[in-house]
Structure 1
């Protein structure tokens, strides 16, 4: 817990110390604001904080950035505001808290007892009832009584809703050359410099392609000329994409199997497939409502300068 003193700054709170938290059961929640896996856990974290806060539970977020733009405090503050997060958030831009906990995952939840000892951890999504049982056990150990033992129920919506696990056959994929897989534009990738790409006539499942003038850089792909396209063959209910504008607002258009998404549009797209890239964040572009099968996603950006980082699915 002393590692909290290594935060570069704090949101929603003055700096917290191990001494200030002594006597409370603490959930230390490692997150980064574009991580869809963390976003889907947020309703549970907040429900626990609300239910058990009066009995001695403290939720402390540790924002450790993954992408370059997540180091910017203003971007994190806007995400905190958009998500209505009101618990303390330690900004861990130097990965100092992450390293002190020997953490390797987003999301990661560490359960700290009233004496400041880490007693349990959970990585990733799921096991919500087991996590809540651990909270209850640590609170009881600390002398708390009178709380409701029934687990919380959440009704998450939008990007925070649980994934459609039974139909989720498409894994996360980064677009920068350091970690990407299954790039399918003919003749392969030209790294670190502008190149005119074309998309193949067909894509295999979980393969992707570029069309237009793009740079494939280490951590992202960069659009050099307007009307560049990214296409992806997927099998999932949801398609999410981490994007950043080069400057200003960038209109884009989404197609599924060559047509507007209609009722299968995501929260950041209308039924005609139109959306607006306004700031660096995760964009939910597809949420299917019917039977899930292999489909081809396309997004066309109407201005240059766009950076695309990673696809996630749900």
Structure 2
């Protein structure tokens, strides 16, 4: 899970991304029993729907899903949200995806529209570029799911991935209350594909890692990161687990690093089945060709959805790219991605 608003919980979010649970001291404040739906008025735009209001939703059971299109935890939860929306739409369930962006580039409507189409989302999506809805719900996490009864009260909330059966039973219970009739006890069967497939959290030892300097950690190229200025970086002499570095001419900003000349690389020593990298094309929209290696070799059968067996791929959109999905036993490996063209924008690594 990620949070760009409450920096004090950054360590908590990393632990959650690694599959650990919140302790009592770290639990976010609950809003169960409150009525935060009027906060929907703060949406900056809507996709798949006209603007929805608390008044229109009265009498409906509502699931509000806070997500961000480059958040791997959110991406893996989407197949469940999508299945619930389809299964229960005729029973009175309204699903609203609230897209609250972490990176500035994710505020752009066309980028969110592409993501909505890519993930097959047909339920309403509210764009929350100013964090108005996020704040109305006192939310801190991506993804976060709020289950609201027909009277507009939050009855259950869930943060992060997992416990989908329990969440669906809450949907059934709230619909039973609203409709005064029994709901089927069966639960959806979901098998996500590609980046939407469930993570192997039992063997993830690498945390979400940011490339922009405002939250960069474990950067080991000699000389460190030079902020908001071009720098010619060289490869680290040695990478320990979760260390990373750059080679080539890069300009590192608070949220993103931009490659200034061809041939630049990003290196990362990781331990996980899946490796993802949030990337974007050049500022003028030109695609960026790249090649991935694992321990200096082409990935072969361990390539991700966005690379071929030789490690080749192209950055065309601002989104999360799945670059590695290992087939065998998981051990420490050194990942490298080399960009053949200048201008690529690199934001963050995530694992699964």
Compute the TM-score of the two structures, normalised by the length of structure 2: 0.88
Partner of 1:236: 272
Match of residue 79, structure 1, among 115, 127, 134: 115
1:154-169 to structure 2, matched below 5 A, reads 154-169=190-205
The question of 1:52 aligning with 2:98 is answered no
String of CA shifts for 1:166-195, please: whole Å, max 9, x gaps.
Answer: 111111011111111100101222221111
1:276 pairs with 2:314: yes
| Cα distance in structure 2, aligned partners of 1:88 and 1:18 | 14
Q: Quick check: 1:55–1:144 contact (8 Å CA) kept in 2?
A: no
- For structure 1, the residue ranges without an aligned partner over 5 or more in a row are none
Is the Cα–Cα contact under 8 Å of residues 203 and 232 in structure 1 kept in the other structure? yes
Q: SS of the counterpart of 1:110?
A: strand
Does structure 1 conserve the Cα–Cα contact (< 8 Å) formed by 2:176 and 2:183?
no
Whole-Å Cα distance in 2 between the matches of residues 42 and 148 of structure 1?
A: 22
Kept in 2, the 8 Å contact 1:13–1:88? The answer is: yes
2:138 corresponding residue in structure 1: 102
Q: Distance in 1 between matches of 2:239 and 2:139?
A: 36
Question: Does the alignment pair 1:257 with 2:280?
Answer: no
1:302 is aligned to: 340
Match of 1:126 in 2: 162
Residue 25 of structure 1 contacts residue 112 of structure 1 at CA under 8 Å; is this kept in 2? yes
Q: Is the 8 A contact 1:52 1:147 kept in 2?
A: no
Preserved CA contact (<8 Å) 2:203 2:271: yes
Question: 1:51 aligns to what SS in structure 2?
Answer: helix
SS of the aligned residue for 2:113 comes to helix
**Aligned match for 1:195, one of 211, 231, 238:** 231
CA contact (8 A) 1:213 1:228 kept: yes
The SS at the match of 2:179 is coil
- Contact (CA 8 Å) 2:40, 2:53: kept in 1 or not? yes
Partner of 2:101 in structure 1?
A: 65
Q: Secondary structure at the match of 1:50?
A: helix
Unaligned runs of 5+ in 2: 1-36
Q: Aligned pair count?
A: 314
In the alignment, structure 1 residue 290 sits paired with structure 2 residue 328: yes
Q: C-alpha displacement at 1:222, in angstroms? A: 1.2
1:145 deviates by 2.8
Give the secondary-structure state (helix, strand or coil) at the position aligned to 1:192: coil
**Normalising by structure 1, what TM-score?**
0.98
Distance 1:14 1:192 in 2: 40
Report if aligned partners of 1:56, 1:144 keep a CA contact under 8 Å in 2.
no
Instruction: Find the partner of 2:76 among 32, 37, 40.
Output: 40
- What is the CA-CA distance between 1:109 and the residue it aligns to? 0.6
